[in-house]
Structure 1
Amino acid sequence: MLQPAKQMTVSFHAELYKLIPEDHQLRKIHEAIDFTFIHELVRSSYCEYYGRPANEPELLFRLLFLQVLHNLSDDRIIEEAQVNLAYKWFLGLNPEDKLPDPSQLSRFRNHRLGAGAVDEVLKSVVRQSIEKGLVKSKSIIIDSTHTLAASQNQKPLEVLRDAAKRLFRVVVKKHSRLEKKLPRLPELKKDQNDAEKIMLHYLAELGETVETLLPDHEGAISEKIKIAKIIVEDERLLANKGIMSAIDPDARFGWKSSTKSFFGYKEHIAMTEEEIITAVEVTGGSSDDGKQLKELLNQTLSAGIEVQEVIGDTAYSSKDNLAEMKSKKIQPVVPLNPVVHHGGLRQEGFEYNKDADFVICPAGQHSIRKAVQGSKQNGKSRSLVFYFDTDKCKTCLFREGCFKPGAKSKTYSIRIMAEHFKEQIEFENSDTFKERIRRRPIIEHKNAELKRYHGMTKAKYRGLFCMRMQAILTAFVVNAKRIVTLIEKMQPAS
């Protein structure tokens, strides 16, 4: 049952709060940010008239805020808040009041905010910055950063075995009478050639059996069955290029450069020149940065930001992105790279990675070298040709229709069609472009802040849903800090 927000009651011990300095960071944040929006935001996820009284949403949200601000775990933030005067004051509690159980933070984060409200959390703080007159620019800067998964990547056999064991255990734990009806884990010999296929078949059989025996399954069983289905249906799994964790099936293998890789997620970010984050989109580590521009732009516009200019790197200079910005009368300040646009693609499933400067095929293999074909003088379209390792193509699971038996090479070409970019090329050569593109690096400082001080280097939880929650809450905290800084800059010097 949801109750109205409570006020701090008068307490003899509240006199202790006078010890908190007036210039304390939490006093400034409390003064600058309105947290009451959260009450209406999560109201629909509570029963208003029945059940036990719930801890008020603002208290729990402020706890999440402190948790991200100081990069603490659920248990640790409760421990710290119980004895920290500044925390207690910020939470609106008396010094002698007790804190909620740490489990309530997880419940609030996943079932209250997670019930469709988390997107509005970021919009609310962006709108507050607009109302305070802090956002004057009409430009946004976009970029992506990466976060390591909370679990390690595994080989296909390990993924399959772990997923099967986890599903088997949870079913037996909740329904011990069904243990004998479940198919037994196959015994595999060391270095058995078809071990992965046998385990894949077993996982599929186990999942189907559980669904037959428990048609009304829910909770942990439903979660494990869902993961099993995702793994079984992943065509790239056996090629060691798809799902790489039975614990975190949403995490993906991505590239930071041609030699550096990571396993985890990408956070695609848009922010104003005042360094207010306006949009966050979270994807697996293998996703294409350029494809996120439209969503970032739409999120920014829906938050109330007027956009007349987008500043970004070459990943966002595709033909489709330029057309999207042109349709909204937005000036793209993005250096052109012809290999990014999709106009010359001949086969589906091939993607260009701008950080590593190679093409990735549907099986997950990347090209080993590239060359330019065509003449600059004849006026015809030239092509960038990417070459693949034919030894790998010969044994690839996806070779049918892609690699011809006996072929000496496997290439993939992308046409360079400069005529589609004539207007942008002219702008790129202007002094205005050269001046405005210098603003792009400031988003690198924002990415560093998210990682260095607020825990975005590594995921705290598993799964895309939880990673998105972590990213948006972190963006809210960083925006709140920035709003305080901007307000102080606006105040006349004493």
Structure 2
Amino acid sequence: MLKDPSPQQHELEMVTLEELVPSNHLLRQIEAALDFSFIRERVRHLYCADNGRPALDPVLLFKALFIGYLFGIRSERQLMREIQVNVAYRWFLGLRLTDKVPDASTISQNRRRRFSDSTIHQEIFDTIVEQAIAQGLVGGEVLYTDSTHLKANANKHRFERQEVETTARDYLDALDVAVEEDRAQHGKKPLTPRAEAPATVEKKISLTDPDSGYMVRDGKPTGFFYLDHRTVDGKHAIITDTHVTPASVHDSVPYLARLDHQCQRFGLAPVGVGLDAGYFTAAICHGLEERGLYGVIGYRRPSKPKGYLPKRAFTYDAATNTYQCPEGQSLIYATTDRHGYRHYRSDPKICRGCPRLATCTRNAKQIKTVTRHVWQDDKDRVDARRLTEPGKKLYQRRKETVERSFADAKQLHGHRYARMRGLARVKEQCLLAAACQNLKKIAQARWRRLFGTFLRHLRADRALQRALYPTMGRSRAMRVVSQAASVRLL
């Protein structure tokens, strides 16, 4: 029989938040795994001790932001509306059912005024990583690094062209020394010193978000983006570093500095690193070899004009310091340029009669030039590891660590788009998103350990379970033993 439901919305019920929040809820696992009270101490100097109106608890404020990133709520106004009606969110924030939810403007004004010039977001991320290290979730032996793009909140058609100073790269001093040593070994004169005035290049600057960079990459969308350069530990995929740059900055530029930063900050002593093909540069390979790291970098087939001989067709002879062309001619060393490349040139008299001249060079003087970097030996050693069995195993873990980390960030934590404008604001977003992903990893690891302990207690009580079979049946006996194991675990 079909009946109309009776109204029950206004009945008085005696309930508590503890009863309403499931015991296996993600927020319960996170609250049990980490202590967030450190936030209050880190920001205490930003508040007045004895004057003004009572401030919103900073722990509550950052916990609310964590909820937004954990559950992919991009809007702070929408976040406050969700906290208003979600009892699990209220429980996590320490709010009662009748407590007023903070206004969205309270969060935004605290971010803009109180925390704008502070390093609290970096400190929160670092402290969570330290807690993961203390719980044994970070091995530090193998680190994987990659970058992903976040679409800037800017119209790609609204820009102006400006001459921008090129950033001096950290390895230029070391490269200059290597070039001078190489030229001296070959009896060449020293090069003139680099110009003190920085070089400039024309770039597209967004009129909406000038800090973003215009990205033009194969297989990637064009427009104004930011890059999140992320490093993930190989043990449990804990994120150990995140660094934000405009999308016009190459992946390899900040890599070595950020690697040194996290090793110094957390006391990590990596043995190997895994990188994709975008990091396969002479400077990166040289830096890894200098640090004694087992670097494995992906391979990208070099582009060449269609129908022309590739560079790999020319064989380098280290004993004679020459290149051998497919027809047997030796290409002799000519010079080393400022960018660190040695030039090896052929004899035009021999090349004029070569049957492969049309597919070898376009030079009007029939001279073939092959270049070799002064750090090419380091590149060759790193590239050779890619084909070894340990190198293959190390590189295969990339898709389970850093690539999976980015996939989760984009799919679950709103990492496809920059929520705010400006490099500092996007850095806050990336730090909080990475911190939330680490929170999930830590909570899940703790839950797995507890479940494993529960199973060990359960197996220890199998004798009791078999003894109860005749009196109460199999299913009830299993339920009684499981409850007993849970009590022993707690």
TM-score interval for Structure 1 and Structure 2 normalised by the shorter chain: 0.5 to 0.7
- Helix, strand or coil at the partner of 1:48: coil
Counterpart of 2:204 in structure 1 is 242
Question: Which of 285, 303, 311 does residue 266 from structure 2 map onto?
Answer: 303
SS at match of 1:151: coil
Q: How far apart in 1 are the matches of 2:148 and 2:253? A: 15
**1:64-143 equivalent positions in 2, closer than 5 A:** 64-72=65-73, 73-114=75-116, 115-136=118-139, 138-143=141-146
> Which amino acid in 2 is paired with 1:434?
K
Aligned to 1:282: 244
Q: How does 1:31-70 map to 2 (within 5 A)?
A: 31-70=32-71
CA shift at 1:153, angstroms? Answer: 1.4
1:253 corresponds in structure 2 to 214
Counterpart residue type for residue 93 of structure 1:
L
Q: SS of the residue aligned with 2:225?
A: strand
Q: Distance in 2 between matches of 1:132 and 1:124?
A: 12
Q: CA deviation at 1:438?
A: 1.1
Identity %: 29
Q: What TM-score do the two structures reach when normalised by structure 2? A: 0.65
Contact map agreement 1:118 1:472 (CA 8 A) in 2: yes
- What is the CA-CA distance between 1:437 and the residue it aligns to? 1.3
Counterpart for residue 322 of structure 2:
380
Determine the C-alpha separation between the residues in 2 that align with 1:322 and 1:122.
Answer: 29
* Structure 1: runs of 5+ lacking an equivalent: 1-11, 161-195, 197-233, 340-356, 359-366, 386-406
Q: Is the 8 A contact 1:42 1:112 kept in 2?
A: no
- Provide the aligned C-alpha RMSD in A: 3.4
Question: What secondary structure is seen at the aligned counterpart in 1 of 2:241?
Answer: strand
In structure 2, C-alpha distance between the alignment counterparts of 1:125 and 1:117, rounded to whole Å: 12
Is 1:437 aligned to residue 398 of structure 2? no
Q: Map of 1:32-431 to 2, 5 A cutoff?
A: 32-72=33-73, 73-114=75-116, 115-136=118-139, 138-156=141-159, 241-243=203-205, 245-257=206-218, 260-273=221-234, 274-301=236-263, 302-335=265-298, 372=310, 375-376=314-315, 379-380=321-322, 415-416=372-373, 418-431=376-389
Instruction: Evaluate the alpha carbon distance shift between residue 144 and residue 444 of structure 1 in structure 2; reply closer, same or farther with a 3 A threshold.
Output: same
Aligned residue among 409, 426, 437 for 1:450: 409
Cα 1:380–1:29 change in 2 (3 A) is same
Q: Which amino acid aligns with 2:231?
A: A
Aligned pair in 2 of structure 1 residues 26, 330: CA closer, same or farther (>3 Å)? same
Native 8 Å contact 1:28 1:484 kept in 2: yes
Q: Secondary structure at the match of 1:290?
A: coil
Give 1:308 shift.
1.9
Q: Distance in 2 between matches of 1:482 and 1:84?
A: 23
CA shift digits 1:241-279 (9 cap, x unpaired): 420x22201111213425743421110100112111110
1:52, distance to aligned residue in structure 2 (A) = 2.0
For the residue of structure 2 that corresponds to 1:264, the secondary structure is: strand
* In 2: Cα distance, 1:370 partner to 1:458 partner: 42
Equivalents in 1 of 2:426, 2:216: separation in Å? 19
Bigger shift: 288-297 or 475-484? Answer: 288-297
1:464: which partner in 2?
A: 423
In 1, distance between residues paired with 2:158 and 2:394? Answer: 45
Distance change >3 Å, CA 459–CA 305, structure 1 → 2: same
Match of 2:411, SS state, is helix
CA deviation profile, 1:422-455 (whole Å, cap 9, x unmatched) = 4334434422112211111222111111111111
1:99 match: secondary structure = coil
Deviation at residue 420 of structure 1 after TM alignment: 3.7
Segment of structure 1 superposing worse, 141-150 or 482-491: 482-491
- Alpha carbons of structure 1 residues 327 and 51: separation in structure 2 relative to 1, 3 Å: farther
Count of matched residue pairs: 356
Question: How far is the alpha carbon of 1:372 from its aligned partner?
Answer: 4.9
Contact 2:158–2:207, Cα closer than 8 Å, also in 1: no
- In structure 2, the gaps of 5 or more residues are 1-12, 163-198, 324-330, 332-340, 344-363, 456-490
In structure 2, relative to structure 1, the CA distance for the partners of 1:49 and 1:31 (3 Å cut) is same
Q: Distance in 1 between matches of 2:246 and 2:278?
A: 17
Tell me: CA distance 1:369–1:260, structure 2 relative to 1, closer, same or farther (3 Å). farther
2 CA distance for matches of 1:108 and 1:439?
Answer: 40
- Deviation per CA, 1:457-492: give whole Å up to 9, x if none: 111111111111111100011111111222223331
Cα deviation, 1:192-233, whole Å, max 9, x if unaligned, reads xxxx9xxxxxxxxxxxxxxxxxxxxxxxxxxxxxxxxxxxxx
- 1:290-340 Cα shifts (integer Å, max 9, x gaps): 11212331342213433222111122233332333334332212246798x
Q: Distance in 2 between matches of 1:99 and 1:487?
A: 30
Q: Between Structure 1 and Structure 2, whose CA radius of gyration is higher? A: 2
Change (3 A) 1:337 1:259: closer
